[in-house]
Amino acid sequence: MAKTAPGEVSLPRVSKGKRPQFFDDPSLDQMMTFLLELMAETSALRDRVDTIERLLDEKGSISRADIEAYRSDDAVEAERTAWRKGFIERVLRMHAPA
């Protein structure tokens, strides 16, 4: 097993047990999983684009190392959190409880 650095969490690579089922039709569970995974990837890509835009505004020219080294401050995180909240509400609006 690979060693982890102090403070890192080591998770098993394979989940155990049966997948939870939330809908009567298993294909709906698969579609919802697919949708949520796409939403997570979209959110991560949006954060990366936001990072690139902020660095370009600040420096004019950037490298991949600049992007990887970027750490957002509290104000940026607040903006991103607000965007994510709106994104989730827009995408899942049909599934909101009545």
Chain mean position to CA 27 = 23
Residue 39: inside a domain, yes or no? Answer: yes
pLDDT, mean of residues 52-75: 96
pTM: 0.71
Residue 71: inside a domain, yes or no? Answer: yes
Name every residue whose Cβ is closer than 8 Å to that of residue 89 and which is 6 or more positions away in sequence. 96
Domain count along the chain: 1
Residue 2: inside a domain, yes or no? Answer: no
- Band of residue 45 on the pLDDT scale cut at 50, 70, 90: very high
- Band of residue 52 on the pLDDT scale cut at 50, 70, 90: very high
pLDDT of amino acid 50: 97
Residue 70: inside a domain, yes or no? Answer: yes
pLDDT, mean of residues 13-34: 86
Tokens of 97: 């409880």
Task: Answer whether residue 1 shows pLDDT above 60.
Answer: no
C-alpha distances out from residue 25 to 28, 30, 88, Å: 6, 9, 23
